Structure 1
Amino acid sequence: MTLSSLETLQRVFGYESFRGDQQAIIEHVVSGGDALVLMPTGGGKSLCYQIPALVRPGTGIVISPLIALMQDQVDALQELGVRAAYLNSSQDWREAREVEQAFQAGELDLLYVAPERLLTERCLDLLSRGHIALFAIDEAHCVSQWGHDFRPEYLGLSLLHERWPQVPRLALTATATSATRREIAERLKLDDAPHFVASFDRPNIRYRIIEKNEVRKQLLAFIQAEHAGDCGIIYCLSRARVEETASYLCDHGIAALPYHAGLNASVRAANQSRFLREEGMVMVATIAFGMGVNKPDVRFVAHIDLPKSVEGYYQETGRAGRDGLPATAWLAYGLQDVVQQRRMIDQSEGDEVFRRRLGAQLDAMLGLCETVSCRRQRLLAYFDQTIQPCGNCDTCLEPPQAWDGTIAAQKILSAVYRLWRERGQRFGAGHLIDILRGKLTDRIKEYGHDTLSVFGIGADLSENAWRSVLRQLLAQSLLAVDHDGYGTLALTERSRGVLKGEHTLMFRREPEKKSRSRSASTRSKEAVIALPEAAQARFETLRAWRAEVARSHGVPAYVIFHDATLREIALSCPQSLDDLGGISGVGVRKREAYGEALLQCVHG
């Protein structure tokens, strides 16, 4: 019996109704149409190809970039009674042959394949001998050479249209500007496909950006105060920083693991497996980690280095709170981040157009960091979407002040000018601040900089205040990082207008640091766990049962049931199997497999 799309959603996946554009996308693909789908992480993208693959005759072919995560996706589908498999390099030849034979025999609903493998003649020949329901190209932003996660093998996927012109294709991603969207459509030959663009807003995520000052201590305090025992991801720019941060957190009682491309493949796989399968693990990683991670209970994503683009930042923070429960996106950044990023752009390979594009991406990221208005408004504006102030970001909850920084800017620009014009010298931020504040350091005495007319003219501002001024001047390209490789600072064409008093500069001033009360600092945590006492006890019993089942099946706990489903069961206290059928996430197969055990947990 062939089920309709809605019946498949309800019986297989256990959801009562579609969300947003899901139904329109699914019906379009079921009828044979191509589509480009933009939907935020946790918005239900996977259903947009899984349901058509179950409704249409044949096997849905899913192109996924990370073989390490295919296993979890296939495990989750098999728990639902879906005939799913994957082909990747982790299998021996016997396992691969069994999957190939099942595909050719029409015994699979979904087959996951990495793009590198799909483009081999062996795999293309295999696909030509089976019946294909659709092609789903997941993480489609990887095709964009201007994107944050370009993968050259994705460029070859245009051949799917050439070899199977009658098979519908979906390209899906959580992150793409209008320019990236056009590039995806062009490179994948989806020129005539409709674009389904959902809202990029993730209202359950609280965005917070702070000024960096002893960042490891700041990070530890954040985790201990707001997310103790929670699962989280911490992003660092370098491999060394990953190792140092993971070690520091472990030394302070946080269960943290490192992940970067320099680690042995077996270590990476083991750490990723622990993160996915164990409760409360924290992964410290470079951006090599995270694409395709579908762990729903990541309660925070932290960045201790400045991301290179808003697209990358959005993609990475989107891995928090996939279950719809409250989560935090926390970023610490400072002056040195700006200096480092500017220098990396200047020293990058590529032509002037390429460097200008990188510079524009960084400018947008700096604009998000320095805004005095709602961060979510600024973030979504990057993707051409508008909202009202969100009330769930730091600038909404504790609005920063704007102050006239024109004179302060003129002082520091004058110091840079005097050093270069009078002495032929350039220096970095720390030395400039010492000159302005009138500090008689050994270096200042060595160079005779205490005789400069600008020496001591900035004693009215603290060192941190001057670092904030410098950071914002760099963010607005009113100062530049010199090409000497030492991080020294130089004037730009735009500096002249400020020095001549032609522009007024309004800067962001951080709100006064208040000692956060326990109740304020744990708001997001309490919002997640706030259950009545009896329901909380049932929830913990259900979690313990789920952990045991997951261990016996060799899968992550969330593959059995999401926390959100267990919370609903704990709250509603179902009396019968029929009652369980009305709970989101409990489909027919799971009700049959686990229904009696769930009722036993609830009623003892």
Structure 2
Amino acid sequence: MLPDPLPTLQRVFGFPDFRGVQRQVVERVLGGQRTLAVMPTGAGKSLTYQLPAVMLHGTCVVVSPLIALMHDQLRAAEAVGIRAATLTSVDANQAETRSRLRGGELDLLYVAPERASGQSFRELLSQADLALFAIDEAHCVSEWGHDFRPDYRLLKPLMDSFPDVSRLALTATADAHTRADILAQLGIPADGLIVSGFDRPNIRYHVTPKTSTPRQVADIIRRTPGPGIVYVQSRAGTEKMAASLASTGRPVRAYHAGLDPAIRAKNQADFVASEDMVICATVAFGMGIDKPDVRFVVHAGLPKSIEAYYQETGRAGRDGDPSVAHLFWGAEDFVRARQRIDEVEPERRAGEAARLQSLSALVETGGCRRQVLLRHFGEDAPADCGNCDNCLGASGAVDATELARKFLSAVFRTGQMFGVTYIEQVLTGKSTERSLMNGHENLSVWDIVDAEEAALLKPVGRALLLRDALRANEHGGLEFGPGARALLKGEATLSVVPQPRRERRARGAAAAANPADDPLFEALRERRRELAKEGGVPPYVIFHDSTLRDMAARRPTSRAELAVLSGVGARKLDAYGDAFLEVIRAAA
């Protein structure tokens, strides 16, 4: 009979109970069964191997794709008393770590796939007592996944060398095709698949057309306290955006692969430790951090795929507190994306086109964003989530099918040679030297759009490009795409969301970081900062904000009362309990 993992969960991690499918996964691991767990970011994937690592005899080997991520997870594991180590190229204590592994002194050992797949590492493991292989970010093993890493394909031979050691694969982002590939590539039976819900109900999704992106992003930063990530599509763009956002008064840094390694490492470390910093980064940033208190993620341009969007937005709110994901897009983003599809290998084009179409559905919908997102991953969703821009009443989608036909007709009758601005001028009857010279003022489409419809021309133009009803040629002129025919023949409809008016805000205005305006909560945060600085760890490693809010609300006066709060395990109670009780007593 398997031991009950709940007492160990409560004692080591300080959690009163399991969440979601955690217990189901943990019990399979404890029973030696091979498992693939698909769980959303923030659902506690790491606990599903950390808890068995404490309970089982031997070492759990965790394969993780990035060194920075391993070091973050190492700090978190050591904070609750787990005997853990990393074996990476930047670790100076490699000999000591190997000795601890051979001596049975490690519960967890983190390694990268490149090291794990090597013969010398396999020989090292043969000298150790192993309890479990845990493969994090397991979608990297699949060519169908969005972050394929060839070295992940070499992990099955490694694990097959130790047939009696159970294996656990973990990922947050894998559609049905990718899941099947992961199972095959890692030698996990089909009945070993456990899929948790993909929904992240604490994240509010917003999607907005670009107008002035730096200003739009600055507005979000001013009204959203806490740490945030702004994803920018180019290296130069990250630095330009960071310089622009400095006017918000928040600390802002850039992060991309072209920075000096020391500067890049410092910017990342400062962000991880900060409670209010904004980092402007390329999409490589974030996969390598384990920061639970990110309050917002902004995409200043179109993500690579809906899987990438889900993973990148999932870096917000991992502590379960309310967070925001805001995507800014332009029709030119979809034009460039289609051009990139034409440049990939022919056998990959259909899959890439399907991914782009999924993104199109997400940004175009006047209905629930979360529904579009969840259905992409094969999950049923309610028609109204109550926590996206459209469900909160900001949509106001209108039927623009007739206007779209007028737009297409104007493109056709002007010879499929001119850009969006000129087509708008023709439709609204704005006379110019070019319209006179081309004789376009005599066309049937001249001045057929009234002032009320004119306000919808820009979103209609974007929607037509997004649907591939129009395409931009190499000279910037518009021409028909495959989606035009259905609209012109009445076989398809088109709705658009009018651009909302900008809400004027006082410069620098922001919501309070402490919504309850509780001085005790702020005092507890200040003590956490002091302890974090003394210990050289990020503040969240000590306690999450949710735990501090519980302290402020319940005001425990003894270690026994403090111990019942979620997130206060035995190790943290001994290390930090008295310091926080002192703050609470002083506020009494």
Q: TM range, normalised to the smaller chain?
A: over 0.9
Q: Distance in 2 between matches of 1:316 and 1:137?
A: 20
Partner of 1:403: 398
Partner of 1:471: 462
Partner of 1:491: 480
Distance 1:147 1:165, change over 3 A: same
Q: TM-score, normalised by structure 2?
A: 0.94
Any gaps of 5 or more consecutive residues in structure 2? none
Partner of 1:187: 185
1:374-523 alignment, distance < 5 Å = 374-388=368-382, 389-420=384-415, 426-441=417-432, 443-444=434-435, 449-450=440-441, 452-458=443-449, 460=451, 465-482=456-473, 484=474, 486-499=475-488, 501-510=489-498, 512-513=500-501, 515=503
Residue 364 of structure 1: CA displacement?
0.7
Q: Distance in 1 between matches of 2:88 and 2:303?
A: 31
Partner of 1:581: 563
- The one-letter code matched in structure 1 to 2:543 is F
Distance 1:70 1:132, change over 3 A: same
Q: Distance in 2 between matches of 1:116 and 1:428?
A: 49
2:51 aligned counterpart, secondary structure: helix
1:222-233 alignment, distance < 5 Å = 222-224=220-222, 226-228=223-225, 230-233=226-229
RMSD: 2.2
Q: Which moved more, 1:115-124 or 1:324-333?
A: 115-124
Partner of 1:559: 541
- Cα displacement string for residues 427-452 of structure 1 (whole angstroms, at most 9, x for unaligned residues): 33333333333334455556555555
Q: Does 1:52 align with 2:52?
A: yes
Q: Distance in 1 between matches of 2:70 and 2:263?
A: 18
2:523 aligned counterpart, secondary structure: helix
Distance 1:271 1:101, change over 3 A: same
1:530 to 507, 515, 518: 515
Q: 1:398 touches 1:511 (CA, 8 Å); kept in 2?
A: no
Q: Distance in 2 between matches of 1:587 and 1:252?
A: 38
- The one-letter code matched in structure 1 to 2:523 is T
Q: Distance in 2 between matches of 1:255 and 1:564?
A: 24
2:283 aligned counterpart, secondary structure: coil
- The one-letter code matched in structure 2 to 1:49 is Y
Residue 509 of structure 1: CA displacement?
2.7
Q: Distance in 1 between matches of 2:395 and 2:534?
A: 51
Q: TM-score, normalised by structure 1?
A: 0.91
- The one-letter code matched in structure 2 to 1:28 is R
Partner of 1:320: 316
Q: Distance in 2 between matches of 1:291 and 1:496?
A: 42
Q: 2:429 touches 2:448 (CA, 8 Å); kept in 1?
A: yes
Q: 1:304 touches 1:333 (CA, 8 Å); kept in 2?
A: yes
1:568 aligned counterpart, secondary structure: helix
Q: Distance in 2 between matches of 1:307 and 1:71?
A: 27
Q: Distance in 1 between matches of 2:67 and 2:85?
A: 12
Q: 1:68 touches 1:269 (CA, 8 Å); kept in 2?
A: no
- Cα displacement string for residues 257-283 of structure 1 (whole angstroms, at most 9, x for unaligned residues): 111122222222111101101221111
Q: Does 1:372 align with 2:371?
A: no
- The one-letter code matched in structure 2 to 1:492 is G
Q: 1:143 touches 1:187 (CA, 8 Å); kept in 2?
A: yes
1:398 aligned counterpart, secondary structure: helix
Q: Which moved more, 1:69-78 or 1:458-467?
A: 458-467
Q: Distance in 1 between matches of 2:47 and 2:439?
A: 68
- Cα displacement string for residues 124-162 of structure 1 (whole angstroms, at most 9, x for unaligned residues): 211121111101111111222232222222222222332
2:207 aligned counterpart, secondary structure: strand
Q: Which moved more, 1:51-60 or 1:292-301?
A: 292-301
Distance 1:184 1:227, change over 3 A: same
Q: Does 1:354 align with 2:348?
A: yes
Q: 2:245 touches 2:252 (CA, 8 Å); kept in 1?
A: yes
Partner of 2:90: 90
1:329 aligned counterpart, secondary structure: strand
Q: Distance in 1 between matches of 2:133 and 2:433?
A: 67
- Cα displacement string for residues 47-85 of structure 1 (whole angstroms, at most 9, x for unaligned residues): 101111111111000111110122221112112111100
Distance 1:144 1:464, change over 3 A: farther
Distance 1:590 1:436, change over 3 A: same
Residue 31 of structure 1: CA displacement?
1.1
Identity in percent? 45
- The one-letter code matched in structure 2 to 1:376 is R
Q: Which moved more, 1:391-400 or 1:504-513?
A: 504-513
Partner of 2:176: 178
1:172 aligned counterpart, secondary structure: strand
Residue 292 of structure 1: CA displacement?
4.5
Q: Distance in 2 between matches of 1:162 and 1:278?
A: 42
2:243 to 244, 247, 252: 247
Q: Which moved more, 1:187-196 or 1:563-572?
A: 187-196
Q: Distance in 2 between matches of 1:404 and 1:82?
A: 58
- Cα displacement string for residues 215-239 of structure 1 (whole angstroms, at most 9, x for unaligned residues): 1111111211x214x2101111111
- The one-letter code matched in structure 1 to 2:491 is H
Q: Distance in 2 between matches of 1:515 and 1:270?
A: 36
Q: Does 1:267 align with 2:263?
A: yes
Distance 1:177 1:50, change over 3 A: same
Q: Distance in 2 between matches of 1:487 and 1:315?
A: 33
Partner of 2:10: 10
- Cα displacement string for residues 478-524 of structure 1 (whole angstroms, at most 9, x for unaligned residues): 22344x3x44432134423433x433523123375374789xx97xx
Any gaps of 5 or more consecutive residues in structure 1? none
Partner of 2:77: 77
